[in-house]
Amino acid sequence: MRIVIAEDTVLLREGLAGLLEDAGHEVVARVGNADALLTMVAEHQPELALVDVRMPPSYEDEGARAAYLIRQRYPATAVLVLSQHIETPHAIELLRSGGGFGYLLKDRVLDVDDFLDAVRRVAAGGSALDPEVVAARIGVGRSLPVRAGSPGHARAANTSASESSTNQRRSRGRIAGSGERETRGRS
Amino acid sequence: MLCVLAGPRNPLLVELLLMQTSVAIAVGIAVTRHRLYEIDRLINRSLVYVPLSVLLAVGYVGITLAMGVVIGRGAPWTVATATLAVALAFRPLRARVQRAVDWRFDRAKFEGLRQVRAFEELVRAGHATPESVGVVLASALGDPTATLSFWLAHDGTSADGSDRPAGIDPSANRAFTEASRRGVRLGMLEHDTRLLDHRDLLDEVLGAASLTIEIARLRVEVKTRLAEVAASRARIVEAGYEERRRLERDLHDGAQQRLVSLGLKLRRAQRSLPPEARILEAPLDDAVNEIGRAIADLRKIAAGVRPARLDEGLAAALRDLARGTPVPVDVDATVERMPAPVEAAAYFVACEALANAVKHSSASHVAITARRDDGCLILSIQDDGVGGAEPRRGSGLAGLADRVDAHGGRFSVASPAGAGTGVEVNLPCA
């Protein structure tokens, strides 16, 4: 799969690129800001853009805004947003743009297999939402369907999301996500 | 002309005549134009003291005679009584005569002083504030363009920010006269240069108003300094919030990123291990898990320093706060956005109050409401615990009061024993 990485911390960017290349993906561009990201996506039309929320110059949410633009302009490019902390409005807003989107806390990449799973799933038109985000969104003691934007679902994989919603500490549970649209469509 | 007339006959006489005339003319000009010998004051004094002396003398003689008739002539205390009566009558009589003379010969000054005294009475009765003395001066001096600015001793400027010396600005026909009391600078009166022709009026009116001016100056100075203190306190609190934000950024974008990078490196090393080195799998797993926990800790610390969700508004941050609290918390918060420092202040108040509810009041339920009303954010935190909380100095509650104060807000605690604790905060949003 062809991937563009936008992450301003060089160490982390190279680490992510190495990880993805180890897994057999092709990292076609590595950039450190949102403008360069948009340029590279336009140029390479990758299957996935891996985007850090905070990037230069203002370190606010330019990554999330770029992600939104990519979803609008290049529907073929899925976006996986990485954030240092939970920022639900962005996540929810982006989820509304349909499948092919994921939103994860950065340290999820340390659970390499889960992370690579999420990458594949998002690129295939599914979604991935960090359990922390889900918990923050729905508060304590209530559960909501995790998936949004992806039609047809009901997979046991989401249980972790509602578990974490009742948990006040940070969940180390699996990444919540919906199944691949294509796979389901065919089966 | 004199030269032409007297020239051929006696040059010495002409010169002498000329000299004498010019001296007389010069003195005349100096007296009338430039107030040499303070001539008007001199005349005024004479006008006062001549009748005053006559009145006193008449009084003295009158008393002596009357007493002489009544108790016999030559009694030693006839003289004593008359002297005492005259001495006692001197001051009030002088004031009266002075007023009469002013009224008769210097109507402007009489009227000006009367206005100043009337204003003094109003101030004393609490019907006027001393600060409006400037307006009264303008009217008393008959110069509607006159303005008084008070001298602020602590920063060496006038209350209007200028620090003009006394003097004249001939280009604009403006003059600056210092108002002082016992050599202490009180303020500067800016007025029309024409008023300088009535120096006596100016001095007398300023002198009569000097106590009121001093009171006004002190009030203005206190008010200015209080405003400065409040502003600087607000700046310090805001700088504190800004520092927290910077620290939070540093934790997230610096330390946390490095740890993720480090963990990622270990993971890659782990995944590239040859089959015979599988023994390293477990310790590497442990190391990465440890890093994960460190990251989670950092995130918690950063959230305590300043929750990133405060960027999304108070409601989001309060809900997050409630989520991390071990007792059920109901949050009913407006989603309206308010200035960042106000939101931050409200958030930290809620944090402290919630921590108190959990730690000290054995509450089983807490309700937080935040609403906007009349330009203010009203935040209330009510628990159902044991109550009896007292905001002692140095306690968390007192710290909250200080924080709210710094924003110009109000803070109240109601904590009757056995009926829970309610903290209500009112923060102006302007």
Residue B319 touches chain A, beta carbons under 8 Å: yes
Residue B180 has pLDDT above 80, yes or no: yes
pLDDT tens-place string over residues B218-254: 998 899 889 888 888 888 888 888 888 888 888 888 8
Does B263 reach chain A within 8 Å, measured CB to CB? yes
| E strand or H helix that includes residue B257 | helix B257-271
**Any CB–CB contact under 8 A between B247 and chain A?**
no
The residue whose two tokens read 């609008």 is A72
Nearest CA in chain A to B254: A9
> Residue A54's closest chain B neighbor by CA?
B253
Lowest mean pLDDT among B50-59, B160-169, B343-352: B160-169
H/E stretch holding B332 reads strand B329-333
Nearest to A136 among B288, B320, B326 (CB): B320
* Cβ contact B272–A22 (<8 Å): yes
State both tokens at A161.
Answer: 């999301």
Contact A135 B319 (CB under 8 A): no
How far apart are the CA of B306 and the nearest CA of chain A, in angstroms? Answer: 12
Name the percent of chain A lying above pLDDT 90: 40
B16-63 per-position pLDDT tens digit:
888 888 888 887 777 666 555 566 667 777 888 888 888 888 988 888
Confidence of residue A120 (pLDDT cuts 50, 70, 90): very high
Instruction: Quote the CA–CA distance of A33 and A54 in Å, as a whole number.
Output: 9
Report the candidate in A86, A3, A107, A174 with the shortest Cα–Cα distance to residue B264: A107
- pLDDT higher than 50, residue A185: no
From chain B, pick out residues whose CB is under 8 angstroms from the CB of A168: 323-326
Give the number of other CB atoms < 10 A from CB of residue A104. 28
Give the pLDDT band (50/70/90) at residue B215: very high
Run of H or E including B263: helix B257-271
The confidence score (pLDDT) of residue B35 equals: 56
Q: Is the pLDDT of residue B361 over 60?
A: yes
Q: Mean of the per-residue pLDDT values for chain B?
A: 84
pLDDT tens digit sequence for B388-416: 877 765 567 777 888 888 888 898 888 88
Q: Using a CB-CB distance cutoff of 8 angstroms, which residues of chain B are in contact with residue A15?
A: 260-261, 264-265, 268
Say whether residue B368 is in contact with chain A using an 8 A CB cutoff.
no
DSSP B330: E
* Minimal CA separation from B209 to chain A, in Å: 59
Classify each residue of B151-180 as buried b or exposed e, where b means 16 or more C-beta atoms within 10 Å of its C-beta.
Answer: bbeeeeebbeeeeeeeeeeeeeebbbbebb
The answer to whether A56 contacts chain B (CB < 8 Å) is: no
Q: Rounded to an integer, what distance in angstroms lies between the CA atom of residue B38 and that of residue B50?
A: 18
pLDDT in tens, B232-241: 888 888 888 8
Residue A136 C-alpha, separation from nearest chain B C-alpha, in angstroms: 7
Select the residue from A12, A14, A137 to test the B interface by mutation, using most B Cβ atoms within 10 A. A12
With 90 as the cut, is the pLDDT of residue B381 above it?
A: yes
pLDDT-based confidence at A35, cuts 50/70/90? Answer: very high
Write out the DSSP string of B358-382: HHTS--S-EEEEEEEETTEEEEEEE
Q: Which one has a higher pLDDT value, B27 or B428?
A: B428
CB contact burial B138-149 (16+ within 10 A = b; e otherwise): bbbbbbeebbbb
Q: Is some CB atom of chain A closer than 8 A to the CB atom of B333?
A: no
Q: How far apart are CA B200 and CA B321, in angstroms?
A: 72
The residue assigned the tokens 């409040």 is B230
- Hey, what's the torsion of the CAs at A145, A150, A154, A160, to 10 degrees? -50
* Position A153 pLDDT exceeds 50: no
Is residue A21 less than 8 Å (CB to CB) from chain B?
Answer: no
- Facing B257 at nearest CB: one of A12, A19, A86: A12
Q: Residues B356-380: what's their mean pLDDT?
A: 90
Contact check, Cβ <8 Å, B260/A106? yes
Q: How confident is the model at residue B164 (pLDDT cuts 50, 70, 90)?
A: low
Q: Is the ipTM of this complex over 0.90?
A: no
What pLDDT, on the 0 to 100 scale, is given for residue B163? 61
Is the predicted pLDDT of residue A164 greater than 50, yes or no? no
Place B316 in a pLDDT band, splitting at 50, 70 and 90. confident
Q: Which residue of B has its CA nearest to A171?
A: B296
C-alpha gyration radius of chain A: 15
Residue B371 CB: number of other CB atoms within 10 A? Answer: 13
Mean pLDDT computed over B97-115: 82
Can you spell out the DSSP letters for B52-95?
HHHHHHHHHHHHHHHHHHHH-TT-HHHHHHHHHHHHHHHHHHHH
Task: Please report, as a single letter, which amino acid is at residue A139.
Answer: G
Note whether B324 contacts A139, CB cutoff 8 Å. Answer: no
